[in-house]
Amino acid sequence: MAERIPCLDGLRAASIAAVLFAHAVHAVDGMGALAVASRLAGLGVRVFFVLSGYLITTLLVREYERTGAISYRAFVWRRVTRILPAYVAYLLVVWLTLTPPIGARWWPALTYTSNVFTTGWWQTGHTWSLSVEEQFYLTWPLLFAFGPRRARQIALVVFAISPLIRTLVFLVTRNGSAGASWCHDFIAAGALLALTYPKGFAFRWSWLAPIMAVILTLIFEGGTRWIFAAQMTVGMSVEALAVVVSVAWCLARPASLIGRVLEWRPIRALGLISYSLYLWQELFLYRGANVWFGIPAALIAATASYWAIERPGLALRRAFRPMREAVVIVRRS
């Protein structure tokens, strides 16, 4: 079993709380003064990207250092048993209980490509971020075939070219959401943190980083076309740096007041169900929904999903561990 990383569940809890708060605000009409809060959902999702980049890369580095090899089959099996059961259950419930609007499409959600091809449906629109992560899971272990040092260089390149790719996607599609969905610099930033400073770092003014991330989100997530252009080019990358500094500070200071708060058991419990909560909240926090019912219902559904679906999936992973017949894609010379 992998060593637990302090603060990670707490950071997940903070991220999903931002998403819930933003979607709750979006669900209630007549709250124009608080509409700016809906922009925090994007920040919460992008923090998840940094955490995924950091955690997955940390696990790959540990496996490489421990065994001198990385098994792609074993890695994919771990991801499948972790992610797919709850995801399939959510899509199945949506398919059985809701009628999709005209123009809605299932195949982008089913193929993890909804960050490229829109589903046209609110209840599956949030799968775009899951598509970004799944594409990362399928490609990053393969890039590790070049070794951690080369992987660090690749992550730097991805971080550097992401603003250009965002801009090109926007120019081709004329779709701001399509451009903003290229968040790979956030994942690359998390990977670079794991490859360079595994236990994080803390400098004197690093506590300002989360404040900076929120301010950048509030500035860049709306406004004139020039502000939007700034977001597409360098704005999101600067935000990625602010988020990764925030994560690094938390990793380096688990005994601080913030670290202790993030490690508080109720907050950690929220972080544990954050994946299921991100999936199921979309059923209950649509525009016009009763948030006093929607938030508790989402928490109940996520808790049930975690214990009835996610946990058995982890047991399935242990029961059919493919490490015994692993396909090794990289071996240390």
pLDDT one-digit tens code per residue, 95-106? 999 988 888 999
Torsion angles phi and psi, residue 71, rounded to 5: -95, 115
Mean pLDDT of 277-293: 91
Contact between 143 and 176 under an 8 Å Cβ cutoff? The reply is: no
Q: Which residue has the tokens 């730097």?
A: 156
Whether 101 is in a domain gets the answer yes
Q: DSSP string of 287-322?
A: TT--HHHHHHHHHHHHHHHIIIIIHHHHHHHHHT-G
Whether the pLDDT of residue 191 is over 90: the answer is: yes
In the prediction, which pLDDT does 76 show? 92
Rounded to an integer, what distance in angstroms lies between the CA atom of residue 113 and that of residue 133?
11
| Least-confidence region, from 52-56, 87-91, 122-126, 179-183 | 179-183
pLDDT at 325 over 50: no
Please check whether residue 328 lies inside any domain of the structure: no
pLDDT of 202 reads 85
Q: Residue 331 pLDDT > 70, yes or no?
A: no
Q: Return the pLDDT at 332.
A: 53
**What confidence score (pLDDT) does residue 207 get?**
79
pTM to 2 decimal places: 0.92
Residue 145 lies in a domain: yes
Q: 253 pLDDT exceeds 50?
A: yes
pLDDT of residue 67: 83
> Does the pLDDT value for residue 35 go beyond 60?
no
Beta strands in the chain (DSSP E): 69-71, 328-331
Task: Say if residue 2's pLDDT is above 60.
Answer: no
The rounded distance, in Å, linking the Cα atoms of 283 and 262 is: 27
* 74 pLDDT above the threshold of 80: yes
In terms of residue numbers, what domain contains 56? 8-321
Is residue 70's pLDDT more than 50? yes
CA neighbor of 129 nearest in space, from 183, 205, 166: 183
Among the listed residues 111, 54, 119, 118, the one whose alpha carbon sits nearest the alpha carbon of residue 87: 111
pLDDT value for 3: 62
pLDDT value of residue 189: 97
Is 333 within the bounds of a domain? no
Residue 4 predicted with pLDDT over 90: no
Tally the domains of the chain.
1
Q: Specify the pLDDT at position 184.
A: 92
So what's the pLDDT on residue 128? Answer: 93
Neighbours of 131 (CB within 10 A): 19
In a domain, 127, yes or no: yes
Asked, for residue 110, whether it belongs to a domain, the answer is yes
Q: What is the pLDDT of residue 29?
A: 62
* Each residue's pLDDT tens digit, 214-252: 888 777 665 566 677 777 778 888 899 999 999 999 999
The answer to the question of residue 115 being in a domain is yes
CB neighbour list of residue 183: distance below 8 Å, 6 or more residues apart: 45, 46, 49, 129, 132, 162, 236
Specify the 3-state DSSP secondary structure of 328. Answer: strand
Segment among 47-61, 160-174, 261-275 with least mean pLDDT: 160-174
Whether residue 266 is contained in a domain is answered as: yes
Query: What whole-number percentage of the chain has pLDDT above 90?
Result: 55
Per-chain mean pLDDT for the chain: 86
- CA torsion sign, 3 to 48 to 243 to 192? positive
